[in-house]
Amino acid sequence: MKITKKEIVHVANLARLDLDEESIGKFAGQIDNILEYVDMLNRVETEGVAPTSHAIFLTNAFREDKVKEHLDRNKALANAPEKEDGNFVVPKVIG
């Protein structure tokens, strides 16, 4: 067993997801299978091999730190589920 139901619930919590009992059971089985499969990576000798985070030769893309044309405030807010006075509205954060 690579992953338990309890761990599924813990990880779902980290990812801000609620799962019902049925999904917890289903995911635990499926994800356990996947992690068992992924375990084959341990057969590969990787001592001293540098990890790759992306596959082309570019490193950093720098530019001048200047204000350029940008999205209008109203347009940026247009898709917000709740907004007020030019701001995004969220539930109360500090009690």
By CB under 8 A, is residue 1 in contact with another protein? no
Angle ∠(53,54,60) on CA atoms, nearest 5: 95
By CB under 8 A, is residue 73 in contact with another protein? no
Burial class (CB in 10 A: 0-12, 13-18, 19+), 7: middle
Q: Which of residues 16-55 bind another protein (CB under 8 A)?
A: 16-19, 23, 27, 30-31, 33-35, 37-44, 46, 49-55
- Partner residues linked to 84 by β-bridges: 87
The least distance separating another protein from the CB of residue 46, rounded to whole angstroms, comes to: 4
By CB under 8 A, is residue 71 in contact with another protein? yes
Count of residues binding another protein (CB under 8 A)? Answer: 52
